[in-house]
Amino acid sequence: MSFTSLPTKIQSLLFLIFLIIYVVTLMGNSLIILVTLADPMLHSPMYFFLRNLSFLEIGLNLVIFPKMLRTLLAQDTTISFLGCATQMYFSFFFGVAECFLLATMAYDRYVAICSPLHYPVLMNQRTCTKLAAASWFPGFPVATVQTTWLFSFPFCATNKVNHFFCDSPPVLRLVCADTALFEIYAIVGTILVVMIPCLLILSSYTRIAAAILKIPSAKGKHKAFSTCSSHLLVVSLFYVSLSLTYFRPKSNNSPESKKLLSLSYTIVTPMLNPIIYSLRNNEVKNSLSRTFHKALALRICIL
């Protein structure tokens, strides 16, 4: 696995940085889940989908971080064949599910802004549950086909994965067989999984922008835009790095550049999501404040 060629001091520093990111990510996303569940004011479709996003981010980090931290701390660079396949499977599953969930969240914002009077009817609890399930489901077939197919190839004598987790491009470089058909599948799969949700998001926000421009007051425009800005920022961070990483699975791009791109969507984005949604959302900030004061009051009563 990666990072082993770096000096020991650098690896120790990376361990500390990644450990902090890991803890912040788990705590931040767990806090989003708990707050949106505990506060009745946040029992709306927007926060229902945000909880789902936080679950996905936690899952992705649990797949990647523990092994990476163990590698940096104990210099244990080995991973079993089954362990590598499992890590790849779940990283694909959570990544694909997040692509579709972000598109679903864009649709939710579209309905809220463009059809506010029909929003409670169109986005009822049953519909939201179906949309969330539809977002999670594509991860299963994509991860199953991609992982099973790739690990059915014969591998060369070298077994060094030049990456910080078992991702498709670095593992593909170890294959001793014609992978042309698999690469075609990977490109087509990327287009379907990344571009289709991305186009749905663009379509939703094009209509949202048109609706916002029709709002007469500047205050109304600002309020409507503020409900979408957090989601737009998360989408931009996630889709740009994901697209650049997977559109060319066996390209001539530097492996180091692909590692940095992978770090962006697997580590940085999951950490930033709860920060973005909490700092740029007054409802979440107010809910966090209410929760904190309730917990503080309860502690004082107990003491």
* 8 Å CB contact between 72 and 15: yes
- Among 55, 99, 46, which Cα is nearest to 230's? 46
pLDDT for res 151: 92
Distance of alpha carbon 40 from alpha carbon 81, whole angstroms: 46
Kindly give the confidence (pLDDT) of every residue in the chain, 303 residues in length, as a single tens digit, with 9 standing for 90 and above: 556 666 777 778 888 988 999 999 999 899 889 888 888 888 889 889 999 999 999 999 999 888 888 887 777 678 888 888 999 999 999 989 999 999 999 999 999 888 888 999 999 999 999 999 999 999 999 999 999 999 999 888 667 777 778 888 888 888 888 888 998 888 888 788 888 898 899 999 899 888 888 888 877 777 777 777 777 878 887 777 776 666 654 445 555 666 666 777 778 778 888 887 776 666 777 776 776 666 666 566 655
In whole angstroms, how far apart are CA 22 and each of 6, 18, 25, 75, 229?
A: 21, 6, 5, 19, 25
Fold topology of 3-301: Rhopdopsin 7-helix transmembrane proteins (1.20.1070)
Distance of alpha carbon 203 from alpha carbon 221, whole angstroms: 19
pLDDT for res 138: 92
Beta-bridge partners for 84: none
pLDDT for res 86: 92
pLDDT for res 277: 74
- Among 68, 60, 69, which Cα is nearest to 89's? 60
pLDDT for res 36: 87
Distance of alpha carbon 165 from alpha carbon 263, whole angstroms: 10
Question: pTM of the full predicted structure?
Answer: 0.85
pLDDT for res 247: 61
Torsion angle defined by CA atoms of residues 242, 204, 192 and 61, in that order, rounded to the nearest 10 degrees:
40
